[in-house]
Amino acid sequence: MNMYLYELKSLRKSTLIWTLSLVALAFIYFSIYPSIASDAEDFKQLLSAYPEPIRAALGISLESITSLLGFYSMVFSIISLTGAIQAMILGTSILSKEARDRTADFLLVKPVSRTSIISAKLSAAITILLITNILYDLIAFIMASVVATTDYSKKQFFLISLTLFFIQLIFLAVGLFLSVFFQKLRSVLPISLGVVFGLYMIGAILATGEKDVARYLSPFKYFNIPYIMEHSGYETSYLFVSAIIVVISIVGSYLVYSKKDIHAVS
């Protein structure tokens, strides 16, 4: 419990910064929605000039873009990208920072098992993501209610917003798994940004295709917002794959970390 609380305390500043960043993005996008809704036809005409592959990559649907949920689905890709970066950095740093800060030897000689160490740190990381999402969802809902020009489905809005947590959970688990294979991970930023932006670009490219099977290559495409808006739910197969990735990554992290040699960075 002490380790769990210590991790929460040590990460409170970065958690606040990331949460404020997500809220700021939502505020900026929602603040321009009323002007877009008032000039709906002109906005649609402007976007129709973009080639279809570009609109698909950006998540733009001309049929619903001027509705609140349609507009939210377009800008949510940037919000989810930002959230994925937060989760990936958190996942890759939560264990590797002990080696970078030269506290690994001090931590591992304590009368606690490595399983307890990774459990405490993982619990703290998940708690941080929950706090981030609760605050973001609450503030985003308030802002959406303020700027809405017509009625919209609160359930669908919540389901879209909830996908941020699912995406973050995937990247947290993947980041944790990747970090245990490095003996000396001096900086988590290059690998975190590389993985997140790489998968985001793959998802953007795949959006221009017609094969749903290709969506399995990018977590950003596991939660199809047009599908959520039409069915008020998620696609079961992609939820299943998401759960498999998270479970395998976390279990693999436990297995590797429990046996690896830990070296402090000199």
Cβ proximity of 76 and 228 under 8 Å: no
pLDDT number for residue 52: 67
Structure tokens at 98: 């002990």
Measured distance CA(179)–CA(83) in Å, rounded:
19
- pLDDT tens-digit map of 33-78: 888 777 767 666 766 666 666 666 666 666 667 788 888 888 898 9
3-state SS string over the chain?
CHHHHHHHHHCHHHHHHHHHHHHHHHHHHHHHHHHHHHCHHHHHHHHHCCCHHHHHHHCCCCCCCCCHHHHHHHHHHHHHHHHHHHHHHHHHHHHHHHHHCCCHHHHHCCCCCHHHHHHHHHHHHHHHHHHHHHHHHHHHHHHHHHHCCCCCCHHHHHHHHHHHHHHHHHHHHHHHHHHCCCCCCCCCHHHHHHHHHHHHHHHHHHCCCCCHHHHHHCHHHCCCHHHHHHHCCCCHHHHHHHHHHHHHHHHHHHHHHHHCCCCCCC
- Least confident segment among 24-33, 74-83, 126-135, 177-186: 177-186
Compute φ and ψ for 86, nearest 5 degrees: -55, -50
Nearest to 88 by CA among 168, 7, 164, 186: 168
Q: Does 193 score more than 50 pLDDT?
A: yes
pLDDT of residue 114: 76
| Beta carbons of 190 and 175 less than 8 angstroms apart | no
Identify the band that residue 265 occupies on the pLDDT scale cut at 50, 70 and 90.
very low
| Angle formed at CA 122 by CA 117 and CA 125, multiple of 5 degrees | 130
Q: Give 114: exposed, middle or buried? Use CB within 10 Å, 0-12, 13-18, 19+.
A: middle
Q: Helices 154-179 and 236-259 meet at what angle, rounded to 10?
A: 30
pTM of the model: 0.88
Q: Report the pLDDT value the prediction gives residue 23, as an integer from 0 to 100.
A: 94
